[in-house]
């Protein structure tokens, strides 16, 4: 069947066979199908959805576009963690440090920013020297010596997803349950962990906007996991406001350091603890109280922070060289009241507009830009108070006069 026939078939809502999905997606991977035709098919999938069978078939095609990592050389239980994407979401860096400090192996393959959401790899690349591309041997060695390694989607693992992901990012085809599930699960299966926890984010700043969508994608991801004999757990968590106090790559690394040094206590910290406890339960068979106590101890004793430093050092990063922009703009409130809402989506878009993400595939991310939130939900604000500080590209003019409308006051 020609690519146009395949696009038309999906556009009319019919089910594509594995053969048709292979022709389209592998053809795209091998450069025989151009970006514009793949964009059109992706858009048709966004509009018409996919059956479970199509999702399983597409995931299988993605997985077998590359290698499946063999983690049998890793000593100990492997647990991977993934988030469906949010604004200010730096949980992976905290959670991997805590869980690895407790003796569980965390083989983590992360992504770059997607749409208005940030990506762990972009955050890590703000640390000068940090290598996100380890060889398979280095990855496994680091898991055995340090306990966690965080790498970018390598060429060899689900490489088809890497190509499709970059196209979705710039063609308005990110927010699709089948495409998100396929993308995440193909990477999770290919990267080899025995157990996987997925943080399913829901809300205005997330890729999934409703509770129903979050429940549905959880079902699909568990279904895919069981097809490959992997234990998959999901946690549905809220993303109506940005997570934590900063958005932007280098700024978020600084926030991770603060959390691991016990200098913050907010919803993000509770979320990191909850995810870590779940991973400890899955890996070590502990009950929830035991797992919670282990996580608290790792943070309080500084073991989690030490582990974070070990991960950075093992991958060549030098935290002392991390740089944030010196071109700052305090954003002043033009209203007074009690903050009852913050538009996570608009904050994510603003970070993108500041240069912290990509609008085209070729864009270079500026890791020094971003937003530090000074006022959050529950705070009382007076006219003239600083709501947040924008970190602009060095040498550029402000791009926004007033940010008050990003907040809801009562």
Q: Is 85 near ligand URA (CB under 6 A)?
A: yes
Q: Where are the alpha helices (DSSP H) in 102-248?
A: 120-124, 136-145, 159-169, 177-190, 211-227
**Min. distance of Cβ 191 from ligand URA in angstroms?**
11
Cβ-count burial 121-151 (b if 16+ within 10 Å, e if not): bbbbbbbeebebebebeebbbbbeebbbbbb
**Min. distance of Cβ 291 from ligand URA in angstroms?**
26
Do residues 246 and 370 touch, judged by C-beta distance below 8 A?
yes
Q: Is 120 near ligand URA (CB under 6 A)?
A: no
Do residues 397 and 330 touch, judged by C-beta distance below 8 A?
no
Catalytic residues: 82, 161, 168, 183, 187
**Min. distance of Cβ 82 from ligand URA in angstroms?**
7
**Min. distance of Cβ 76 from ligand URA in angstroms?**
25
Q: Is 184 near ligand URA (CB under 6 A)?
A: yes
Q: Which is nearer to ligand URA, 158 or 388 (CB)?
A: 158
Q: Is 183 near ligand URA (CB under 6 A)?
A: yes
Site string for ligand URA, 185-224 (x = CB under 6 A): ----------------------x-----------------
Residue nearest to ligand URA (CB): 183
Find the part of the chain contacting ligand URA (CB under 6 A) among 12-20, 176-184, 195-203, 373-381. 176-184
**Min. distance of Cβ 289 from ligand URA in angstroms?**
32
Q: Is 357 near ligand URA (CB under 6 A)?
A: no
Distance (Å, whole) CA 247 – CA 255: 9
Number of residues that bind ligand URA (CB under 6 A): 10
Q: Is 113 near ligand URA (CB under 6 A)?
A: no
Find the part of the chain contacting ligand URA (CB under 6 A) among 46-54, 179-187, 287-295, 319-327. 179-187
Q: Is 84 near ligand URA (CB under 6 A)?
A: yes
Q: Which is nearer to ligand URA, 82 or 273 (CB)?
A: 82
Cα distances from 350 to residues 90, 196, 356, 403, in angstroms, run 18, 32, 9, 10
Q: Is 45 near ligand URA (CB under 6 A)?
A: no
Q: Is 225 near ligand URA (CB under 6 A)?
A: no
Task: Tell the burial category of 199 from Cβ atoms under 10 Å away from its Cβ (0-12, 13-18, 19+).
Answer: buried
**β 407-409/380-381 pair status:** unpaired
Q: Is 114 near ligand URA (CB under 6 A)?
A: yes
Cα distances from 314 to residues 114, 164, 338, in angstroms, run 27, 30, 45
Question: Greatest CA span in the chain, whole angstroms?
Answer: 63
Distance (Å, whole) CA 380 – CA 148: 41
DSSP, residue by residue, 207-274: SB-SHHHHHHHHHHHHHHHHHTT-EEEEEEEE-SS-SSSEESHHHHHHHHHHHHTT---SHHHHHHHH
Among 50, 87, 160, 180, binds ligand URA (CB under 6 A): 180
Q: Which is nearer to ligand URA, 111 or 357 (CB)?
A: 111
Q: Which is nearer to ligand URA, 162 or 307 (CB)?
A: 162
Do residues 249 and 122 touch, judged by C-beta distance below 8 A?
yes
Q: Is 21 near ligand URA (CB under 6 A)?
A: no
**Min. distance of Cβ 292 from ligand URA in angstroms?**
28
Task: Tell the burial category of 49 from Cβ atoms under 10 Å away from its Cβ (0-12, 13-18, 19+).
Answer: middle
Cα distances from 246 to residues 143, 243, 260, in angstroms, run 29, 8, 15
Among left, alpha and beta (phi > 0; psi -120 to 50; other), residue 308 is: alpha
Q: Is 242 near ligand URA (CB under 6 A)?
A: no
**Min. distance of Cβ 313 from ligand URA in angstroms?**
27
**Min. distance of Cβ 230 from ligand URA in angstroms?**
16
Find the part of the chain contacting ligand URA (CB under 6 A) among 14-22, 127-135, 178-186, 382-390. 178-186
Do residues 284 and 271 touch, judged by C-beta distance below 8 A?
no
Residues that bind ligand URA (CB under 6 A): 84-85, 111, 114, 165, 179-180, 183-184, 207
């Amino acid at each position: 069947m020609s690519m146009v026939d395949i696009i038309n078939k999906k556009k009319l809502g019919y089910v594509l066979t594995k053969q048709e999905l292979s022709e389209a997606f592998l053809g795209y991977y091998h450069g025989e199908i151009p970006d514009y035709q793949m964009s059109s098919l992706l858009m048709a999938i966004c509009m018409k959805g996919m059956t479970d069978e199509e999702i399983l078939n597409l995931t299988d095609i993605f997985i077998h576009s590359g290698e499946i990592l063999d983690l049998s050389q890793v000593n100990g239980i492997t647990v991977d963690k993934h988030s469906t994407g949010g604004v200010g979401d730096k949980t992976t860096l905290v959670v991997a440090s805590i869980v690895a400090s407790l003796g569980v192996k965390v083989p983590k393959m992360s992504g770059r920013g997607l749409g208005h959401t940030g990506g762990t790899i972009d955050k890590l690349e703000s640390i000068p020297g940090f290598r996100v591309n380890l060889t398979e041997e280095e990855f496994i060695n680091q898991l055995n010596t340090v306990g966690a390694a965080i790498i970018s989607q390598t060429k060899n693992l689900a490489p088809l997803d890497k190509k499709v992901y970059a196209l979705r990012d710039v063609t308005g085809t990110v927010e699709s349950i089948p495409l998100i599930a396929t993308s995440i699960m193909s990477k999770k299966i290919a990267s080899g962990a025995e157990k996987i926890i997925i943080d399913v984010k829901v809300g205005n700043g997330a890729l999934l906007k409703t509770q129903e969508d979050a429940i549905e994608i959880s079902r699909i991801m568990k279904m895919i996991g069981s097809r490959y004999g992997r234990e998959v757990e999901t946690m549905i968590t809220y993303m109506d406001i940005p997570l934590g106090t900063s958005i932007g790559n280098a700024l978020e690394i600084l926030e991770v350091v603060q959390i691991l040094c016990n200098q913050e206590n907010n919803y993000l910290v509770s979320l990191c603890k909850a995810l870590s406890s779940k991973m400890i339960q899955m890996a070590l068979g502990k009950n929830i109280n035991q797992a919670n106590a282990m996580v608290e101890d790792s943070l309080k004793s500084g073991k989690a922070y030490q582990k974070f430093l070990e991960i950075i050092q093992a991958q060549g990063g030098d935290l002392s060289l991390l740089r944030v922009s010196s071109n700052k703009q305090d954003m002043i409130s033009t209203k007074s009241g009690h903050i009852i809402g913050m538009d996570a989506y608009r904050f994510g878009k603003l970070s993108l507009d500041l240069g912290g993400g990509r609008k085209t595939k070729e864009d270079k991310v500026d890791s020094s830009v971003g937003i530090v939130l000074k006022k959050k939900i529950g705070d009382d604000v007076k006219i003239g108070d600083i709501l947040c500080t924008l970190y602009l590209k060095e040498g550029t003019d402000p791009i926004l006069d007033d940010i008050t409308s990003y907040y809801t006051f009562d």
